[in-house]
Structure 1
Amino acid sequence: MSARQRVKFLVVVAVITSLLDLTNSFQPLFSLAGNTKTHRDITQMAVLRKTAGVCRDIAASEGRDFSLKIDNSLSADKVQRACSSRGTSSFLLSTMFQTSIANMYFSNAEVDVVLALSEKHHFDDETFQGGRDVITAGVSAVKASVKLENFVAGRSTLGRVCHTLQDFYSHSNWVELGNTAPFSALIKPDKPLTKLAGPNTPTCRNCAEGNCANNLLPDLLQQGLLTSGYFNIFSSAKPSGKCSHGGSFDRTSKQDPVGGISKDDVESSHGFLHHKAADLAVNATMELLEDIRVTIGDKNFLRLMGLTQSSVLCFVIDTTGSMSDDIVEAKRVSFGIIDSKRGTQQEPSAYILVPFNDPGVGPLIMTTNADVFKESISKLTASGGGDIPELSLSGLQLALTAAPPSSEIFVFTDAPAKDSQLKNTIIGLIESTKSVVTFMLTDDTARRRRRRSSHGVFRRALTQSDAQLYQDLAQASGGQTIEVTKGELSLATSIIEDSSAGAVVTVFQAVQNPGRPDNFPFTVDGLLKNIIVYITGASSLTFSLNSSQGVTQSSSQSSGPLFSLITVGNLRRLKLNTENQTGLWQISVDSNNPYSVKVIGQSSVNVIYNLLEAHEGAHRDFSLKEGRPLSGGNASLLVSVTGSETVRVTEVTLFDSSGPTEVNASLQSIGNGNYLVTFSGVPPGDFVLLLKGEDISSPSRSTPSSFQRQAATRIKTSSISVTSQTNITNIEPGFSISVPFTVAMTTNGVVNDSAAGTFTVRANNDRGYASTSPNTVTIEAGSGGTANGTVTLTVPANAASGTDVTLTIEAQDAAATDINYTVLRFSVVERVTDVTRPTCHEVSTSANCPSSSSLCASSQWEFIANLTDGISGTGIESISIRQGNGTLNTSTVVGTGGENVTVLTYSAFCCSPNVELVAVDRVGNLGRCVGQVRQSTTAAPVTTAAGGTTSSRGHTLSITPTLWISVAVSVLWK
C-alpha cells in the first residue's frame, strides 16, 4: 500500500467509525429499539439452539434424557446445565461457553467496523457470488483451524462468516419473494446461484411518500428474481432501476428509484419484514453450524462452541539443566490432577504444554488427550542453560495466544527472562485474553550468587529486578508470583490444584506495593464454597482474619476456628473451614514490604467483561475495543453475570487498591444478566473491576443477600491511542500482508490536534514470522495529532493451513512512562480451490428383512456404494456413520478415469433400517449418502434383462422369494 493509499484508507476508516448512521446491516450488538434483533441476538440464538441440539443427540445416543426445550428462550446457563451429564442445578458452571459466544458475536460485529464498505461482506450491490465466496473461504478457514485445534481462531472466523450470511436476509429480497427457508446454496459453493436479477434488470420503483412496502417491481417478484440493495456513502450513482439499501447515509437511496429494501431493524425501509429476516438469519446460521458440525464431529463442535465444564491445564516450563526437580514436580502435580479428575466434570477440557530454554521455545503441545499430555511432559529433560537467562516470555507468549481466554497459566522457572523486551507485549496479551498467569519461581540460593551444583549445573539466582518482572506480569493478570526453594515446590503446587477445581471465581484481590498495614473487607455469599485466601509477602508479614460472625484468627495459629494455614516460601494459603458464614469478612495485614491478598472460591456465579468502543449517532452502537481505555475519557464495558438468573448487579466500580482512586459506573441492564456499563472521565491509573449485587433466590430471606466478584485482569489507562484496522483476516502461506496503524496523543479521551512527539514502536507476533515495522513514529506539529506506520508480516510457505498468528503493535512515549497497544489476529489459510463435495454412486443394496419387527435382529441388510472426490479433488479424508448401528468396511480402487474410488460396504441388522454416511475431503467439503429399508406395499419389482431385480429407481436389489421388500436408497448430497 502506497503512502497515498494508506492516507486514503485511514481517512475512510475515520469517516466510517464516526458517521452517525453508517451501519448497513442488522445492528451489530445492541439496539435502542427493544423490538429489534441484532447480529448479537441472531448469533447467540443460533449457537445456543444448535449446541443444545447436538447435546440432545448425544444424550439420545447414550440413552440419557434431555428435557430442555430448544427455542429462542435458551440461555447459556440453561444449555450448559442441560448438556452436562449431571444436569443438576447444583452443578458448577464455567464461564467458557459464554466467553466463547461473546468471542463469536464480537468478531461478527467487527465486520461492520473493518469491512463496512465491502459490498461482498454484506451482500450489497447484488454481489451474490462475491458474498458466497466470502462464506466459502471463511468456512474453509474455520474447518482448517479446528483441524489444528485452534478453536479460538476458529470462533473469530466463524463470527465474521455469520455476519455475511446473516446480512443476506436483511439486504436481499429473499424474504419478499416469500421464502420461508434459508438459501442453502450460499453454503454450498458447487451449487449454482440461480434466478439472479441481471445487471440490466430493473428491480425497484420509487417509494410512495416514504412508504417502501411496495417498491419492488411486480415483474421481479413474479419471476422470483433475486436482488439486493445498492449502498454508498460517497456517491449517489447506481445502475438504472436498481434498488438501494436505504437509510440516511446511503446516498444511492436519494436517486431514482428512491428508497430502499433493507430490513436491518424495524425502522428500516422494509422494517415490517425485519423479524422474518432475522428468523431466517437464525435458521441459516444454524444450517451453517450443522455443516461445520457434521464435518468436524460432535466433540470438536462442542469445543469450537466453547462448551466445557472445566478450564485447561496449561504449563510453561523451563527445561534448562537446573530445572530437573521442577520438571519432576510439574509432572507429579499434573498427573495427580489428571488421574483424580479423569472422567469427572472437572477433568481439564484441554492440556497445553510449552517448554522453553535458550535458544528454543516449544513445540507447543495442545491436546484433549490426557495420555498424550502425560507422554509429552514425561519426555521433557533438563539440559544446558549455562548462560542463565532463558526465553521465558516467548514461551508465555505462545501459551497466551494458544489457550482459550480467561485461562490459568503456570510458568515454572528459576531463571531471569532473556527476552524481557517482550514485557509490554505480554501485558497486552494478558489484558486482551484476560488469562491469569502465576509464576512458580524456584531458587536454592535464595538470591545469593549462583553456584555450581554437584552435577556441574549452574544454579541460577534471581535478583530482585529479575523477580520484579515476573511480579509485574502476574499482577497485571491477577495471578501470583510464588517464590520457593526447589525442596518446597511440592507444597506450593497446591495452588495449581486449587485453580483446576473448576468454576473458580475471584472474590477479592489487592496488591500493596509499596507495602503498608491495611484492612481488606470482602463479602462471602451463599453461592460460594471452598473458599481459599492467598497472602504473599515477606516472612515478617503478619495478618488476621475476621469472619462475618465476629470470630478472629491470626497468622500465629496454623489451625483454628476459621482456617487451616500452610506457609511455604512467600506464600500463605488459608483454607477456610467454615460454612454458611455469609456476610462481610475482613483481612488485616501488617507489613511494610510489598504483599498481595487474593480470595477465591468455587461458584457458578461469575463475571465476564469486555471493553467496548462507542460509536456515536442514531444507532449508538459499539464494537470490541482492543488496547487500553484512554485517560480522562469515557470507558464502556459489556458485563455479563453467569450462573444464576436470580443475581443482579447493583454497583460496578473501578478502584485502585494502591491509592484512594475509585470510579463508579452507570448501569443499563440489557437482559439475561448482561449490563452496559459506562465510566465517565476515567483518570490515569491502574484499576481493578469490582462488582457488587444481590441474590434474590432465597425465599426465606427478608432481604436479598449480597455478593461481590472481582475481575482478575487489571485495567490500565493510557493517553496514547494505537489503532489498526485491516480488511485482511486470512493470509495464504508464502504471502505477506501490510497492516497500517495510527498513533495519536489524547487529552481527556480525545485526540489532541496540537500534540507532537516521537514514539517507540514494537511489533511482535507469536509465531516468530518475519516482519518489518518502523522503530519509531513521529507526530509532527500541524499533523492533526496523529502519526501513521505500517507493519509487514510474512507467512512462511510451509506454514500449515489453520495456523493462527497474533500480531501485537505497541507504541511507547519518549519518557517510557506511557504505552498502549492493539492486538490483531489472523488465520493462515490456503486458497480454496476445491469446492466440490465427494460424490457417491450406489452399487447395490440387498435386504432379507422379516415383516415382523420382533424378528428384525435375526436378519441383515447391506448397502454398497462407490465414493470418490474426483480426479482433481483433494481426496477423501474421513468417512463416518452419521446414522445407523451397522458395520462399515472400506477398500480403495482406481476408477476408469484414474481417480481414487473408495468402495463402501455397510451392513446392519434389520432393526436398524436407516443409514447416513458422511464423507469429508481434505479441505472440509462434505457429502452425505443416505439409505433406507422399508417394507413393500406396492407391486412386485421388475426383473432386468440380465436376470437381476431392480427397484423403481433402477437400483439392483436381491430379494428373497418368500418376502417382498422394497429398498429405497437415495443419495442425498446437500
Structure 2
Amino acid sequence: MTARHTVMLLGAVVLSLPSLAHSFQPLFSLDGNTITHCHITERAVFQKTAEVCRDLAASKGKDFSLVIDNNLSASKVQRACSSIGTSTSVLSTVTFQTSIAQMYFSNAKVDIDFLLSDKHHFDDETFQGGRDLITAGVSYVKASVKLGNFAAGRWTLGRVFHTLQDFYSHSNWVELGNTEPYSTLIRPDQLFENLAGPNTPTCTSCTGGHCSNNLLPALQQQRLLTTGYFSLISSAKPAGKCSHGGKFDRTSRQEPVGGINKDDVSADHGSLHHKAADVAVNATMELLDDIREAVGDKNFLQLMGLSQSSVLCFVIDTTGSMSDDIAEAKRVSFDIIDRKRGTPQEPSAYILVPFNDPGSGPLTRTTNADIFKDRINKLSANGGGDIREMCLSGLQLALTAAPPSSEIFVFTDAPAKDAHLKSTITALIESTRSVVNFMLTNVISSRRRRSDIQGLSPHSMSQSDVKLYHDLARASGGQAIEVTKSDLSLVTSVIEDSSASAVVTVFQVVMNPGKPDSFKFTVDGSLRNMTAYITGASSLNFNLTSSTGVSQSSSESDGPLASFTTAGNLRRLCLNTDNRTGSWKISINSNKPYSVKVIGQSSVNYIYYLVEANKGAHGYFFLKEGHPLSGGNSSIMVSVGSDTVEVTEVTLFDSSGPTEINGSLQALGGGNFLVHFSSVPAGEYVVRLRGEDNSSTSKSTTTSFQRQASTQIKTSSISVTAQANITNIEPGSTISIPFTVATMTNGVVNDNATGTFTMQANNDRSYASTSPSTVTVAAGSGGKANDTITLTVPANAVSGTDVTLTIEAENAAATDINYAVLRFSVAVKVADVNRPGCQVVSASASCPLSSSLCASSQWEFIANLTDGINGTGIERITIRRGNGTLNTSTAVGAGGENVTVATYSASCCSQTVKLAVVDRVGNVGTCVGQARALTTAALVTTVNTTSTGGHTLSISYCLYISVVVSLLWE
C-alpha cells in the first residue's frame, strides 16, 4: 500500500470515529452551557463590527446607542449600523448572517481537514507552527480583500480563527492568570518568550479523576507557557509533558496521565472553559482589528458582509447579434446606479462577465460604480462564428466571484457551446445558493422550425437549445425569460425588483409537465412591494384570489389585486396587498410547463445549510457539501434574521410529487435551529419555513408568515468526498487533492456495490489540472474508490486570487450525480513581516491651560514614517484618532530608504492623534502623539525607543512650553 493510500485510509478511519474533534466544539452545543467556535466567532464579529460602526458614527457626529457586549445579535448590529446612514424602511440581516456563517463553517471544517495536524490546534507545543498558520492566513486574507475577494477572505479567516481560538483552550495561558490575548500569536516580528523547553516537565498525573492541579508549580512561578500533547494512534510523548486529554487522546494514558484542555465544561480543565472562551473572543477581536487597520473600515465591513444591498451581476453575450441586448443591459444598470448611488440601496458590488466564442471574461468585480459603468460601456457586439457561445464558462466565473445568495442575470441569444459544464454550474448554484436568471432573446417557438422562418437571426435558439437554461434557472430558483429583442426592455424590470433591499421569496413552484392547479401562499404584515412572476405559454390563464375573497383574472391587466404586464413568456404582477394579510391563492390553467414565483421586501427571512452529524455523545455537526443522500437522514441548520420571529415548521417540498416532508425542530438559541429529516426519498426539494412574526407592538397583530428557499436540493445515491492538505496555494505550485467516491444505500455505504463512475473536475480559473476520467468501485473494495486530482497555479497568478474546484462523479447510466466543492486562496508568501516604523521629527503647540479657550489654538505633530530599506513600502496612512488634518510628502532617508513625512495639525481641543501606517502587504504600525498643557519651561529630550518595525531609533526633539508629546508603540 502506498503512503498516499495509507493517509487516505487513516483519514477515513478518523472521520468514521464519533466525537473526535479535539477543540472547542465546532458549531453548536446541545447542552446549552458550552461555548463553541461558532459562538466565539459570532461574538467577536458582532462586537468588532459594532465598534467600527460606532467609530464611523462618531466621525459623522451621529449617535450610536448600541451597548457592545456579549449579548449582541446580527439584527441588533445591523439595525445600529444602518442608523449611521439614511435609514431604510426594510432591513435584512441575511447577507450579514451568510458572511458570518462562511467564517464559522470554515472554522469548524479545520476539525475535519486537519484533525491530526498539531500546528492547526497548537498541540504538542507547536507554537511557531501555529503562529505561522495564523500570520500567513492573515496575509492571505488581506491580499484577498485587496482584490475584492471577500468570500475567499472569509473562508481563510475562519480557518485562522480556529487555530487562534484553540490556543486558549489547549495551552496554560488562562491557567497562568492571563485575561488578555497573547498578541505575539498575530505578530510575526515579535519573539516568543517563556516557552517551556522540550525537556522541561510541565504536568503531574491527575488523581481521583480530577485534573485541576496537574500543572507543575514551576510553570506558574516561572511563567512558562506550554500546550498539551495529543495523538489518536500512539501514547508516546516527551517525559513529563502535559497531554491534551479526553478519551481519544492516547497520550493522556501515559504518565503524566490526564490533560489540560478546556474545550467544554466536562473537559479536564473544564472549570476554566468559559474564561478560555472569553479570552479567545478578545483574541479574535484583536486579530480582526489588525485586519481592519490594514484594509480600512469600508473594506472591513464588506469582509464582514454588513450590507443592506445585493450585488449587480451581469453575464453578457458579446457576439455580433447582441447589440440591442447590450444596450438594454447598459440602460437598466445605469438607471439602477444613478437612482441608488449614495443611498443604502446602492449595490454593494458590481460584477460583469462578457462571453463569446472562444472564451469568457475578463471578470470585472468592483465596488466602484463608475468603473462598472466604464467596463459595460465598452462592451460591443462583434464576431461570433458558429451559433454556440461559451455561456456557462462566463456563468461559472460569475457564480464564484459573486457573494453567496446573489442574483445573477445572463443575457444571450445563443445556445451554450460548453454545455458539458451543466453539472458544474448546478453544483456551484447549490453551493452558493445564488439565483440565476436568463434573458433569452430570439427563441424559436416550439411550433416553428428554424428553416420555416425567413430572416431569422443565425443565433436563434430552438426549444431544445433553451432547455439547458430552463433547467439551470429551475435549479437556482431563477427564471428563463424568453422575449424578443424589441420587447427586452419590458422584462428587465425583474432586475430592478431584485436590486431592492431585503428581497425575500414567499412562494415558488415549477410545473413541468404543466397541469391546471391552484397554489396558496401567505401574505404577512412585514411584506412590502410584493411582486408575482408567472412564466409559461401565451395561452396560459390565471386567477388570483386574496385572503379577503376578492378575485382577479388574467383578462384584467389592472384590477383590484394587481396590475400586470406581459412580454414574451413572462407576466409580472405588482400585487396590492393592503389590508389583505393571510392566505392568498393563485390558480393556473395550462397544460404546458409554467412557473410561479412570489417575492416581496421583508426583514423576516432565513438562511439554511445542510449539516452532517459526526455522531457521538457531544453531537458534533459540520457543513455538508454536495447532495444529501437518498433514503438517508438529513439535517439542516436554520438561522432566522429577526429577533421577533418564532419558527413553527420547516419542511422539504417537492412540487413534482407533490411531497412535503416535515422536519423535527430543535432550538439552539440565538435564532438558530437544527432541523432533522428522517429517510428523505429520492427527489428534488426546496426548503420552506413557516412561523409567527411578533414584531408588532400589539400582540393581537401577530401574523403567520412563510418563506421559501430558491435553490433546489437534489438527493443522490453517490457520495463524493475530497480533502486537501492545504487551503492556501502559492503561485507556481501544484497541489494534490485525494478524493473518494462511494455508492450509498439509504444513507450508508453499500459495501457490496461495484460500478464505474465518470469523473469531471473543473476550476473557475482554467488552471491546469489532471484528473481521472473514470473511477471504478471494484469487488471487495468496501463500496469505495479512491483517486487523486492535481491543480497547478501558474507562476504569474495574482496574489489574492481565489480558485474554486468542483469535483463531480456520475453513475454509468448518467441518471445520478454528486459533487464536492473546494475553495483555495492564492497568494505569494509574505517575506516582509516587520511593521512600518515611525520617528518623531517635532511636536509644537501653544495650547492654553483653559479648555474653554482650546478652539483658538493649534498644535502640530510631524513624524517620519518608513517601512525600512527592505520593506515593501508604505501604502496608506490614516488618522485612527483625532480630528485634525494630515498632510504627507516623500523623502529619502540617510540609509536610502523611502520616507513619508506626515504632518498633522489640530485644534488644542483635540490633543491626541493616532496614525495607522500600512505597508503594501498589510503590516500595520501605529504612532500615537499627545499634547498636554504644562507650566514648566521648555524641555529638550532624547528618547531611545523601538519602533513597531523592530528598528532602534535615537530621536532628539524639542517639546515647547505647555506641551508634551508621548510616543506609544502598539
Q: Secondary structure at the match of 1:934?
A: coil
Cα 1:251–1:563 change in 2 (3 A) is same
Shift of 1:909: 3.0
Paired residues of 1:663 and 1:679 also in contact (CA < 8 A):
yes
Q: Which amino acid aligns with 1:311?
A: S
Aligned to 1:941: 939
1:175 and 2:171 correspond: no
1:506 and 2:508 correspond: no
2:883 to 862, 882, 885: 885
What do residues 91-118 of structure 1 show as CA deviations (whole Å, max 9, x unaligned)? 3224100110111000000011111111
Q: Which amino acid aligns with 2:967?
A: S
Q: Secondary structure at the match of 2:469?
A: helix
Task: Please list, as runs of the form range in 1=range in 2, the aligned pairs for 1:702-781 lying within 5 A after superposition.
Answer: 702=700, 704-781=702-779
Q: Which amino acid aligns with 2:496?
A: E
Task: Please list, as runs of the form range in 1=range in 2, the aligned pairs for 1:501-580 lying within 5 A after superposition.
Answer: 501-580=500-579
Cα 1:92–1:888 change in 2 (3 A) is closer
Aligned to 2:277: 278
1:314 and 2:351 correspond: no
**Residues of 1 paired with 2:700 and 2:922: CA distance?**
58
Return the TM-score normalized by structure 2.
0.96
Shift of 1:904: 2.4
Shift of 1:852: 3.2
Shift of 1:578: 3.0
1:149 and 2:148 correspond: yes
**Residues of 1 paired with 2:607 and 2:897: CA distance?**
52
Aligned to 2:963: 966
**Residues of 2 paired with 1:88 and 1:354: CA distance?**
32
Shift of 1:41: 0.3
1:360 and 2:359 correspond: yes
Paired residues of 2:931 and 2:963 also in contact (CA < 8 A):
yes
Return the TM-score normalized by structure 1.
0.96
What do residues 478-527 of structure 1 show as CA deviations (whole Å, max 9, x unaligned)? 00000000010000001111111111111110011011111111111111
Aligned to 2:845: 847
Q: Secondary structure at the match of 1:968?
A: coil
**Residues of 1 paired with 2:325 and 2:445: CA distance?**
16
Paired residues of 2:74 and 2:93 also in contact (CA < 8 A):
no
1:908 to 906, 909, 912: 906
**Residues of 2 paired with 1:871 and 1:342: CA distance?**
43
Q: Which amino acid aligns with 2:957?
A: T
Paired residues of 2:941 and 2:958 also in contact (CA < 8 A):
no
**Residues of 2 paired with 1:60 and 1:425: CA distance?**
47
Q: Secondary structure at the match of 2:78?
A: helix
Task: Please list, as runs of the form range in 1=range in 2, the aligned pairs for 1:349-748 lying within 5 A after superposition.
Answer: 349-443=348-442, 458-642=457-641, 644-698=642-696, 700=698, 702=700, 704-748=702-746
**Residues of 2 paired with 1:71 and 1:550: CA distance?**
49
Cα 1:691–1:913 change in 2 (3 A) is same
Q: Which moved more, 1:834-843 or 1:470-479?
A: 834-843
What do residues 379-402 of structure 1 show as CA deviations (whole Å, max 9, x unaligned)? 111111131111110000000000
**Residues of 2 paired with 1:798 and 1:173: CA distance?**
44
Paired residues of 1:450 and 1:460 also in contact (CA < 8 A):
no
1:6 to 1, 4, 7: 4
What do residues 728-779 of structure 1 show as CA deviations (whole Å, max 9, x unaligned)? 1000001110111100000000000100001000000000111110000000
Shift of 1:568: 0.5
Shift of 1:848: 2.6
1:305 and 2:297 correspond: no
Aligned to 1:947: none
Q: Which moved more, 1:67-76 or 1:343-352?
A: 343-352
Paired residues of 1:605 and 1:641 also in contact (CA < 8 A):
yes
What do residues 611-669 of structure 1 show as CA deviations (whole Å, max 9, x unaligned)? 11110012221111110000000111101111x22221111111210113221111101
**Residues of 2 paired with 1:68 and 1:704: CA distance?**
26
**Residues of 1 paired with 2:5 and 2:625: CA distance?**
22
Shift of 1:342: 1.5
Q: Which moved more, 1:16-25 or 1:422-431?
A: 16-25
Paired residues of 2:531 and 2:598 also in contact (CA < 8 A):
yes
Shift of 1:460: 1.2
Q: Which amino acid aligns with 1:244?
A: S
Paired residues of 1:606 and 1:709 also in contact (CA < 8 A):
yes
Paired residues of 1:441 and 1:482 also in contact (CA < 8 A):
yes
Paired residues of 1:313 and 1:409 also in contact (CA < 8 A):
yes
1:894 to 886, 892, 895: 892
**Residues of 2 paired with 1:734 and 1:449: CA distance?**
51
Q: Secondary structure at the match of 1:831?
A: coil
Q: Which amino acid aligns with 1:599?
A: V
**Residues of 1 paired with 2:342 and 2:902: CA distance?**
34
What do residues 166-205 of structure 1 show as CA deviations (whole Å, max 9, x unaligned)? 0010000000001111101111111111000000000000
Q: Which amino acid aligns with 1:966?
A: V
What do residues 119-142 of structure 1 show as CA deviations (whole Å, max 9, x unaligned)? 111111011111110100000000
Q: Secondary structure at the match of 2:289?
A: helix
Paired residues of 1:542 and 1:589 also in contact (CA < 8 A):
yes
**Residues of 2 paired with 1:361 and 1:342: CA distance?**
29
**Residues of 1 paired with 2:289 and 2:623: CA distance?**
27
Shift of 1:971: 4.1
Aligned to 1:164: 163
Paired residues of 2:450 and 2:456 also in contact (CA < 8 A):
no
**Residues of 2 paired with 1:826 and 1:347: CA distance?**
30
Paired residues of 1:741 and 1:788 also in contact (CA < 8 A):
yes
Task: Please list, as runs of the form range in 1=range in 2, the aligned pairs for 1:790-869 lying within 5 A after superposition.
Answer: 790-869=788-867
**Residues of 2 paired with 1:942 and 1:807: CA distance?**
63
Q: Secondary structure at the match of 1:177?
A: coil
**Residues of 1 paired with 2:577 and 2:459: CA distance?**
42
Aligned to 1:31: 29
**Residues of 1 paired with 2:731 and 2:650: CA distance?**
45
Q: Secondary structure at the match of 1:967?
A: coil
Alignment size in residue pairs: 957
**Residues of 1 paired with 2:290 and 2:698: CA distance?**
49
Shift of 1:599: 0.7
Aligned to 1:949: none
Q: Secondary structure at the match of 1:712?
A: coil
Paired residues of 2:881 and 2:912 also in contact (CA < 8 A):
yes
Shift of 1:208: 1.4
Shift of 1:411: 0.3
Q: Which moved more, 1:911-920 or 1:924-933?
A: 911-920
Aligned to 1:338: 337
**Residues of 2 paired with 1:804 and 1:115: CA distance?**
20
**Residues of 1 paired with 2:941 and 2:439: CA distance?**
78
Paired residues of 1:450 and 1:459 also in contact (CA < 8 A):
no
Paired residues of 2:88 and 2:344 also in contact (CA < 8 A):
no
Q: Secondary structure at the match of 2:963?
A: strand
Shift of 1:700: 4.5
**Residues of 1 paired with 2:615 and 2:301: CA distance?**
37
**Residues of 2 paired with 1:791 and 1:452: CA distance?**
48
Q: Secondary structure at the match of 2:879?
A: strand
Q: Which amino acid aligns with 1:519?
A: S
**Residues of 2 paired with 1:405 and 1:942: CA distance?**
59
Shift of 1:564: 0.5
Q: Which moved more, 1:851-860 or 1:330-339?
A: 851-860
Task: Please list, as runs of the form range in 1=range in 2, the aligned pairs for 1:916-955 lying within 5 A after superposition.
Answer: 916-937=914-935, 941=939, 955=956
Q: Percent identity?
A: 71
Q: Which amino acid aligns with 1:241?
A: G
Cα 1:341–1:217 change in 2 (3 A) is same
Aligned to 2:72: 74
Shift of 1:453: 13
Q: Which moved more, 1:195-204 or 1:21-30?
A: 21-30
Q: Which moved more, 1:671-680 or 1:481-490?
A: 671-680
**Residues of 2 paired with 1:751 and 1:371: CA distance?**
53
Q: Which amino acid aligns with 2:665?
A: L
**Residues of 2 paired with 1:520 and 1:87: CA distance?**
38
Q: Which amino acid aligns with 1:780?
A: A
